[in-house]
Structure 1
Amino acid sequence: MLRSFALATLLLATTAHADTADGEALKVMSWDQIVAEAKGGTVNWFMWGGSDVINQYVSDHVGGILARDYGITLNRVGVADAAEVVNLVLSEKAAGVTDAGSVDLIWINGENFRSMRQGDLAFCGYTDLLPNNALVDWKNPAIANDFGVPVDGCEVPWNTAQFAFAHDGATLPAPPTSIPALIDWIKANPGRFTYPAPPDFTGSVFVRHVFYYAAGGAENLLGPFDQAKYDAAAAKTWAILNEIEPFLWREGRTYPNTIVQLNELFANNEVALTFNYEPAQFGLAVTAGTYPETTRSFGLTDGTIGNTNYTLIPFNSPNKAAALVVQNLLLSAEEQLEKAKPEVWGAAPAIDITRTPAEIQAGFAAIKAHPSVVPASELAQAALPELQADWITAIEDGWRANVGN
């Protein structure tokens, strides 16, 4: 269950242990010195809290290693959207809180990363300090750029992900596998589909798939925001989404607010399809008994969107050394393998596996995907790029004005 955001931030702001070294001082330290500086610290990690499996992995597994090996306390703070945390850091900066912020680490990407960069809210220029940074292929543009915004040493990759749909093979053996087929299927099966209202992260990416289709393909939208291209694709997108609205769950009179709510509708068989940016979630839900064992997932023949997500240290974190230790641990070959295991999480790695020791590579090769989870290699055959952040903001604002109203 998500914690009370306001209460958590108040408590954390008053109880966080602070490193004695500031960010610039850390940049001239050796890694051993940073680890020593971090000992006894507390890292307040604000992250999406909608998955019990991820929450348990972070709090128990990662937190346990940090406490045992580094003397660091990990305090996970669950939020509904990283935008809440961006606004918190922004408000602290406006109030002159420059070295005693309540946030030490954020799980982040996309528009929220862009906002942190634009507001000078991120601690930057430190990633080479992390020993495990050697495992990252920074020459890969999908890693070096976050939704088109250069990372420039301001965040550390954690996972890669690609969007996929899920259905119950027992009740829907032949699901629609393209956007035009899905549109036709929705009209022919009223009440059996819906999507979370943007700016919910997953609902927003579904809308972008329709936007890509309306634009004639993602290749027509790449690059900086183009108002003329946006207007042409947006008009078609809103027409499509308004056309299918009466055929949605509850006749489109309301939308789920979060992906968690959509997953509940699927689990209760109120809708026939769900989707997620991390297909591993489907297998975890089956294992937990939430979804039927006949659940299967799939990509679209016209492609699905993939991206990378990261962790970021705010400029005013009072526990930067401890946060660096957390980031280095998350980036390690061992932890990238651990969270890739289907029974743990099933998250795709953000490191270059070929740079890891032979035993780690063997561990990745030995992973057997859950039968409900579409193989990442299959999804990758039709991977679509993310748009630059300005496009996403415009699409979300356009949806609210033209569909969600």
Structure 2
Amino acid sequence: MLASGPSPLSRTTNMTLPEKGTDWESLKREMEKRGANDVKWRDGKTAVYVFNAGPDVERVQKEAYALFQSENGLGPMAFPSLKRMEDEVVANGLALLHAPEGAAGNITSGGTDSITMAMKTARDFARAEKGVKGQVNIVLPYSAHPAFDKAAKVMEIEVRRVAVGADYLADVEAMAKAADDKTIMIAGSAPCFPYGLIDPIAKLGALAQARGLWLHVDACVGGYIAPFVRMNGGGIPPFDFEVAGVSSMSADLHKYGYCAKGASTVLFRSEALRAHMIFDSNDWPGGRMVTPTLAGTRPGGAIAAAWAVMNFLGVEGYRAKHAQVTDAREKIEAGVKALGFSVIGKPQLGLIAFTRNDIDCMAIWGKLFERGWFTSLTTEPKGLHLMLSPFHLQVADTYLADLAWAVDEVKAGTKGAAREARYS
């Protein structure tokens, strides 16, 4: 995944707060001017960062968010409407992901937040229920998201990444060898971001049960698309709470749930497990504070928009949107193969990565950038990467035509413009 480097505002920056305010119309024009060089995601040329489900969904996102933009999820007694909407959104997620009776969860700010809270919960469970002390670790496939590493740095947890198999899926046997009595969590992805492939969750679940390990499924990308692809006839393997060994899951509403940014879900097999996530403090002059997730203040707009979009689309709407996604992926998959690329693994959802050994994929990426495409890359193997939205079905032919052009340009020695990027 491409990400720009940090751009901190330093003391040398010539910027101060204005003495007098500026009228909104002038500010709006300035903001529109500043955004003029941003990627044109509404045109369908962005296949990372944004999930374009169409103007109808975008309108629901914005209007629902605005209705509750000042409300605060920190205060459920003050804003019982938000509490009710969060409960209903979480219940929807639990039902879609085959959670048993008594399962529980919360809305978080995003996938990293959800993964962090799942790791914190697993760590505290291991300490309280299993008596684990000292340095603890988690065991991951190499393809797992760096959010696990970020959370591990915060909590000083050792990360043991294990090479994936020849099929680019988690190597369960190797992960079993890497786990020990200080392992608080093993994890699999459904799907992983780099390749868009669903790890063998059933086998990981069997390992978790046999060894008494906490299994987390990172379904940040797939949690709100895979159930509907399955409903549409896709052969999605067991990946959620239907696998008995799964203790927790992360699933992002603001990805294939098509909700506004700032909304994910962290879900647990039982309320007893979720209880280890809750922060409860009374050791200060302000009275007792109880928060379910890392954040204190939680924007009401994100919760409200998630509730509104889910109810706006319903099962029928999600199935239709996701059929467009998988149709786009299948069309592009066939097209890139015809151009001489090899698709990495066997993608089933909305992500696809593809590569070839006889040409520099980074150079192709640069040429595509010149035609307005902002997409992602893989590094092992070096390849091109797309995270598709419903709108991409309309521009799939354009992408394939531009890809063919880019290949010809690179073969002719006309490399793409150099772009600084780092991977995250």
The structure with the greater share of residues assigned to helix is 1
Higher RCO by CA contacts (8 Å cutoff, separation 6 or greater)? 1
> TM (normalized to structure 1)?
0.29
**Highest Rg: 1 or 2?**
2
